[in-house]
């Protein structure tokens, strides 16, 4: 019986020593690893990032300044991704599509000055030809006219000409709503002006600043270290 008890004691002491070594190894491993690598912390960080991005995307920003011409969203309405909510028009960059007769197109070229008379206020605006269409209005229609018949009647075609309204003229005479009618007179005798094509504006308002997000995560983790 003595020998049995002695063996049991030795086994218990050996087990205790192994447990102490395992505890020391666990402490060393815990001290060497960052708290950020803990699975629970990693899961919490991923959940926070998802919530942060969703919160930032609850705000809608316009890519440029302008006026709302069309609104299809209302208070309390559920919306989904890629759904069109509003249409914004920049009234400082507007143009007129003048449909000139093909017999009037002999000397018309980009940069020519044009006089535009508004049907709304009767004021005269100054503009410049930005470009000419590659085809007439009828040739670009959904069902182009077919002239391969014996009784063909010649009809004078019209060519769309884009005329950009000068910004100074807009500020002087007032803004114009889109879709309004104007009378266009192109002066091909005046010196042409170099007209740059309209550049579509873009923005990065919806980009997430990861530095700010990571800083918030650091603050939350540091504030909760040591808490049970």
> 138 or 83: whose pLDDT is higher?
83
Mean pLDDT of 1-26: 80
Could you give the CA distance from residue 7 to residue 1 in angstroms, rounded to a whole number?
A: 10
Would the pLDDT of 200 be above 90? no
The answer to pTM > 0.75 is no
> Quick one: pLDDT band at residue 6, thresholds 50, 70, 90?
confident
Would the pLDDT of 113 be above 80? yes
pLDDT at 23: 80
Mean pLDDT rounded to a whole number for the chain: 80
- Tens-digit pLDDT profile for residues 149-162: 666 677 788 888 99
136 close to 159: Cβ distance less than 8 angstroms: yes
> 119 or 9: whose pLDDT is higher?
119
Contacting residues for 66 by C-beta, under 8 A, at least 6 apart: 88, 89, 90, 91
pLDDT at 8: 78
Proportion of the chain above pLDDT 90, given as a percent? 11
142 close to 85: Cβ distance less than 8 angstroms: no
- Tens-digit pLDDT profile for residues 175-197: 888 888 999 999 888 766 666 65
Tokens linked to 101:
């007769």
Would the pLDDT of 165 be above 80? yes
pLDDT at 70: 85
Would the pLDDT of 138 be above 70? no
- CA 167 and chain centroid, separation: 25
> 136 or 111: whose pLDDT is higher?
111
Of 51, 53, 25, 4, the closest CA to residue 210 belongs to 53
> 148 or 89: whose pLDDT is higher?
89
Could you give the CA distance from residue 157 to residue 145 in angstroms, rounded to a whole number?
A: 11
- Nearest 5°: the CA angle 198, 85, 72 is 115
Phi, psi of 95 (to 5 degrees): -140, 170
CB atoms inside a 10 Å sphere around CB 187? 11
pLDDT at 117: 93
pLDDT at 115: 92
Mean pLDDT of 2-17: 80
């Amino acid at each position: 019986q003595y020998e049995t008890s002695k063996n049991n004691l030795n086994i218990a002491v050996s087990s205790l020593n192994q447990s102490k070594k395992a505890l020391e190894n666990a402490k060393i491993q815990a001290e060497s690893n960052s708290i950020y690598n803990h699975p629970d912390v990693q899961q919490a960080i991923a959940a926070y990032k998802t919530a942060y991005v969703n919160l930032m995307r609850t705000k809608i920003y316009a890519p440029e300044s302008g006026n709302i011409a069309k609104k299809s969203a209302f208070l309390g309405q559920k919306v989904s991704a890629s759904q069109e909510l509003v249409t914004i028009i920049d009234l400082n960059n507007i143009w007129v599509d003048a449909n000139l007769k093909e017999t009037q197109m002999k000397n018309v070229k980009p940069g020519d000055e044009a006089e535009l008379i508004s049907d709304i206020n009767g004021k005269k605006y100054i503009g410049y030809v930005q470009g000419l269409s590659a085809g007439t209005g009828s040739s670009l229609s959904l069902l182009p006219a077919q002239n391969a018949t014996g009784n063909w009647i010649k009809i004078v075609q019209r060519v769309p000409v884009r005329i950009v309204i000068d910004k100074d003229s807009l500020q002087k005479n007032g803004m114009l709503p889109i879709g309004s009618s104007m009378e266009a007179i192109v002066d091909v005798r005046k010196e042409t002006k170099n007209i740059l094509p309209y550049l579509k504006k873009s923005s990065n308002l919806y980009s997430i600043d990861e530095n700010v997000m990571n800083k918030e995560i650091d603050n939350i983790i540091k504030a909760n270290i040591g808490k049970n």
